[in-house]
Amino acid sequence: MSEKPDIRLGVNVDHVATLRNARGGDHPDPVRAARTAISAGADNITAHLREDRRHIRDDDMRRLKEAISVPLNFEMAATAEMLKIACEVRPDACCLVPENRNERTTEGGLDVAGQMAYLKPFVRELAGAGARVSLFVDPDPAQIDAAREAGAAAVEIHTGAYKQACQATTPDRIEREFDLIRAAAVHGAGLGLEIHAGHGLDFHNVQPVAAIPEIVELNIGHFIMGEAVFAGLPAVVKEMKQLMRDARTGGHY
Ligand code: PXP
């Protein structure tokens, strides 16, 4: 047995809704995907209700909350509209992300330091509704300090730049981006924050991140759903968890 704490896999079901919405019907259902992922070992389910409702819809959030047996992580922009919906849905966790209408996916971490006066009461209100609040931040110690000051219980470290470095496969760049993630995780854990990470993780790049002992949760969506087209969702979730566990217990990567 490893002495490192266990690591959770949060499966993001947004892109099951993307596929459903492409035809305007109700298939494939993100709630069914969530249940399937849970049966295969997912520890949490994440869904992002975007302002433009391009994938997950309000009703999906409500159905997810009712249907699933594991914690629901509601990813959202820090807007009054989302706060109201989160207070109604009462998810177990909320992850605040920056949102920009024209982006394809979340492009960077929140500027917590620059929005402290706005975010601090926002985080307090969400936490008051019973959610464990995490802030999605770049691996930057100043933003992690700010997340703590804003009252967040957790930070989710943005791994997008690491993913891009892995795609470019220039070892120096990969190492530089990875070192930033590791240092940010150590820094945040030292402040008493729970450390999550996510964005762009896949079978090839997940293990070094999963091996960082301070990180206790990874949120992964696009790769899992894309790979599920070929291998099936249960098999992909099982393999991702196995890779994470192997990394955690000192297995090879
Ligand atoms: N974490 C956050 C905060 C995100 O915005 C996303 C993308 O929705 C993810 C994790 C998952 O990223 P990916 O879909 O690339 O696995």
The total of structural domains in the chain comes to 1
What integer pLDDT is reported at residue 169 of this predicted model?
Answer: 81
Q: pLDDT tens digit string along 146-172?
A: 999 999 999 999 999 999 999 988 888
Residue 3 in any domain: the answer is no
Q: What would the pLDDT profile of 7-38 be if each residue is shown by its tens digit?
A: 999 999 999 999 999 999 999 999 999 999 99
For 178-208, how does the pLDDT look when each residue is reduced to its tens digit (9 = 90+)? 999 999 999 999 999 999 999 999 999 999 9
Identify whether 133 is part of a domain: yes
The answer as to whether 152 is a domain residue is yes
Assigned domain for 61 exists: yes
- Ligand 1 atom with the smallest distance to the CA of 222 is 14
Pocket, ligand 1, Cβ cutoff 6 A: 12, 14, 48, 75, 95, 97, 105-106, 136, 156, 198-201, 219-223
Does the pLDDT at position 251 exceed 70? no
pLDDT of residue 250: 79
Q: Is residue 69 part of a domain?
A: yes
What is the C-alpha separation between 233 and 250, in angstroms, rounded? Answer: 26
- pLDDT recorded at residue 2: 42
**Cα 46 to Cα 44: distance, rounded to the nearest angstrom:** 7
- How many whole angstroms separate alpha carbon 63 and alpha carbon 239? 27
CA of 39 to the centre of ligand 1 (A): 21
pLDDT tens digits, one per residue of 42-60: 999 999 999 999 999 999 9
The enclosing domain of 63 has a CATH number of 3.20.20.70
Please list the active-site residues. Answer: 48, 75, 199
Verify cis geometry, omega within 30 degrees of 0, for the bond prior to 28: yes
Q: What is the pLDDT of residue 170?
A: 84
In a domain, 197, yes or no: yes
* Proportion of the chain above pLDDT 90, given as a percent: 89
Say how many residues make up the chain: 253
Q: Does residue 253 fall inside a structural domain? A: no
Instruction: Please give the number of the atom of ligand 1 that sits closest to the Cα of 225.
Output: 14
Q: What is the span of the domain harbouring residue 197? A: 8-248
Q: Is residue 1 part of a domain?
A: no
